[in-house]
């Protein structure tokens, strides 16, 4: 592979959304099951973006989609009267997710040899906040927001390669989700699968250990750095 | 000032374009006066962007504008037959400009307290390369390319605040050029002027020591960090 840039999915691949959201739910809504609300909230993630992808909604940033999903869920979780400031603060939980233990070391090693950038459905402000919170050493933040399309729309993968000034085969998409890699491959990017067995918690069916269609399957971002000689 | 993010002009403000371009001209076109070509090339910078700003050209990235200007200038500098690979490499000189001596320390200190981002007419790939070359610790790269408009068009300043999720008065534009700050202020951003007396070389008329209309005037990015308590 003659790869120059690595672009990373973030939710689940670089950061642990479930633990981070659950922690903020427990802090801000004592008595609500943090993990259960985190799972339900994340469950609305793809359907909410699909409404934008199908054109049923105009472009709407992820913070706003998160807020709408939260407002729908709070009555189900016994908190129909949660005040405005608590709702706004809960949405910011997604800006303050902690990296997986290997992420900062892996990205730092990879940055010495490659361009490293996010390629996430999170909005730019969310990704910038998350980078500062967790010390993620991005060369730059790339976001669906820059393209007005959510992954897995082709415009996101095409746009990332275009902004980086590279042909798609010199860009490696790194993700813990097979569907993201399928879409990236269909646009000509190289792909690396990261196994994140804890992403959905101990009760959920585990993700596959490898993606046989990816160029690489790795167990962590430090493993990825080692495999790429970084 | 209740500023959360600092956005930086880069050519002349953070990096020394004149010395960097001249060095590459001397390396790739021995016998050509490096500083003279650098000055002439930079002289075509604003006029070339103005053609895009007036709609005479569709959106054209800075690498392509740089290339067109170079092709026009080479005959004047006695190098009408410079080969394709030399021309392509010269355009990349703008990706490899060195920071002013205070830039990395200043940005690093500021990053600990603020979001720090470029806000440059350079294209994203140029800014990413420059950041890696010089070790500029951006939280993210913001570029005119993301907005399809060149500074001083309003869309660039408005777009930066929008992507950062901030009202304009919480964004501080930092530049060594008064016209950039005038435009930023007209869109509601706060402004800081950096005095860069070496930008255009020893023969050029020096820039003003201060901008009385800016919120701050400083002598360096370390000075800016000190003034902002970072």
Give the contacts of B68 (CB within 8 A, at least 6 positions apart).
B48
Q: How far apart are CA A128 and CA A160, in angstroms?
A: 17
B132 to chain A: which residues are within 8 Å by CB? Answer: 115, 139
- Which residues in chain B are contacts of A145 at CB distance < 8 A? 163
Phi-psi region of A224 (alpha: psi -120 to 50; beta: other; left: phi over 0): alpha
pLDDT of A213: 98
Inter-chain touch B123–A63, beta carbons under 8 Å: no
Q: What is the pLDDT of residues A68-102, one digit of tens each?
A: 999 999 999 999 999 999 999 999 999 999 999 99
Asked whether the CA dihedral A77, A79, A83, A85 is positive or negative, the reply is negative
* A44 phi, psi to nearest 5 deg: -90, 0
Q: How far apart are CA A93 and CA A122, in angstroms?
A: 12
**What pLDDT score does B157 carry?**
98
Instruction: For chain A, say whether B122 makes contact (Cβ under 8 Å).
Output: no
B196 token code pair:
């860069």
Provide the number of CB pairs (under 8 Å) joining chain A to chain B.
59
Q: A64: distance to nearest CA of chain B, Å? A: 12
* pLDDT tier at A1, thresholds 50, 70, 90: confident
- Give me the residue label for tokens 């016998």: B31
Mind listing the pLDDT tens digit for each residue in B102-156? 999 999 999 999 999 999 999 999 999 999 999 999 999 999 999 999 999 999 9
Residue B65 and residue A147: Cα distance in Å, rounded? 23
Question: What does the H/E/C string look like for A63-107?
Answer: HHHHHHHHHHHHHHHCCCCCCHHHHHHHHHHHHCCCECCCHHHHH
Q: How far is A70 from chain B (nearest CA, A)?
A: 20
User: How high is the pLDDT of residue B137?
Assistant: 98
Output the CA torsion A130→A10→A88→B119 (10° steps).
50
Show the beta-strand stretches assigned E in A113-152: 115-120, 140-143
Among the partner-chain residues A126, A140, A145, the one whose CB lies closest to the CB of B141 is A140
Q: Say if B125 is an interface residue toward chain A (CB within 8 Å).
A: yes
Q: Which residue of B has its CA nearest to A95?
A: B165
Contact between chains at A124 and B164 (C-beta distance less than 8 A): yes
Helix residue ranges, H only, B95-202: 103-111, 124-134, 154-164, 178-186
For chain B, give every domain's residue range: 5-16+97-227, 17-95
User: Which residues of chain A neighbour B140 with C-beta distances below 8 Å?
Assistant: 124, 127-128, 131, 138, 140-141
B111 and B224 Cβ atoms separated by less than 8 Å: no
Q: Which residue has the tokens 């792909």?
A: A191
Q: Percent of chain A beyond pLDDT 70?
A: 100
Q: Is A230 near chain B, with CB under 8 Å? A: no
To which CATH superfamily is domain B17-95 assigned?
Putative phosphatase; domain 2 (1.10.150.240)
Contacts of A168 (CB under 8 A, 6+ apart): A157, A158, A161, A187, A188, A189
The residue of chain A nearest to residue B147, with distances taken between CA atoms, is: A146
Task: Kindly state whether A64 is in contact with chain B, defined as any CB-CB distance less than 8 angstroms.
Answer: no
Contact residues, chain A, for B114 at CB < 8 Å: none
- pLDDT given for residue A22 in this prediction: 98
Contacts of A64 in chain B (CB under 8 A): none
pLDDT in single tens digits along all 230 residues of chain B: 899 999 999 999 999 999 999 999 999 999 999 999 999 999 999 999 999 999 999 999 999 999 999 999 999 999 999 999 999 999 999 999 999 999 999 999 999 999 999 999 999 999 999 999 999 999 999 999 999 999 999 999 999 999 999 999 999 999 999 999 999 999 999 999 999 999 999 999 999 999 999 999 999 999 999 999 99
- Mutation site, A66, A139, A145, interface B, largest B CB count within 10 A: A139
ipTM value for the complex: 0.96
User: Is B141 in Cβ contact with A128 (below 8 Å)?
Assistant: no
Residue of A64, A67, A108, A140 best to disrupt the B interface, most CBs of B under 10 A = A140
Q: How far is CA A162 from CA A124, A181, B95, B138, B144, in A?
A: 18, 18, 16, 20, 14
Mean residue pLDDT of chain A comes to 97
- Say whether A140 and B127 touch across the interface (CB within 8 A): yes
Give dist(CA A140, CA A187) in Å, integer: 21
Cα distance between residue B115 and residue B134, in whole Å: 19
List, for residues A165-218, the tens digit of each pLDDT value. Answer: 999 999 999 999 999 999 999 999 999 999 999 999 999 999 999 999 999 999
Distance CA A74, CA B81 (A): 70
Alpha helices of B29-170 — where are they, by DSSP H?
A: 34-43, 45-53, 62-73, 84-91, 103-111, 124-134, 154-164
What's the pLDDT at B1? 86
Residue A206 is encoded by which pair of tokens? 């585990």
CB contact under 8 A, A165 and B63: yes
Fold classification of B5-16+97-227 is Rossmann fold (3.40.50)
Please answer whether residues B38 and B15 qualify as being in contact, where contact means their C-beta atoms are separated by less than 8 angstroms. no
CA–CA separation, B41 and B37 (whole Å) = 6
Subunit contact B63:A115, Cβ cutoff 8 A: no
A166 and B CB contact within 8 Å: yes
């Amino acid at each position: 592979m003659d790869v120059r840039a690595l672009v990373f999915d973030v939710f689940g691949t670089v950061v642990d959304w479930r633990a981070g959201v659950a922690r903020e739910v427990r802090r801000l809504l004592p008595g609500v099951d943090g993990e259960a609300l985190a799972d339900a909230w994340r469950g609305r993630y793809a359907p909410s973006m699909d409404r934008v992808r199908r054109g049923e909604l105009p472009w709407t940033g992820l913070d706003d989609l998160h807020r709408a999903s939260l407002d729908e869920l709070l009555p189900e979780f016994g908190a129909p009267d949660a005040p405005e400031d608590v709702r706004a603060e809960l949405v910011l939980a997604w800006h303050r997710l902690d990296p997986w233990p290997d992420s900062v070391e892996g990205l730092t090693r990879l940055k010495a040899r490659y361009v490293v950038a996010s390629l996430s459905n999170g909005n730019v402000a969310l990704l910038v906040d998350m980078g500062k919170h967790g010390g993620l050493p991005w060369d730059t933040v790339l976001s669906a927001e820059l393209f007005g399309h959510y992954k897995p729309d082709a415009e996101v993968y095409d746009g990332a390669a275009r902004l980086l000034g590279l042909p798609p085969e010199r860009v490696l998409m790194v993700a813990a989700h097979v569907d993201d890699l399928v879409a990236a491959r269909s646009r000509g990017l190289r792909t690396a699968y990261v196994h994140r067995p804890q992403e959905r918690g101990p009760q959920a069916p585990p993700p596959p250990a490898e993606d046989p269609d990816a160029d690489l399957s790795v167990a962590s971002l430090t493993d990825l750095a080692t495999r790429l000689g970084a």
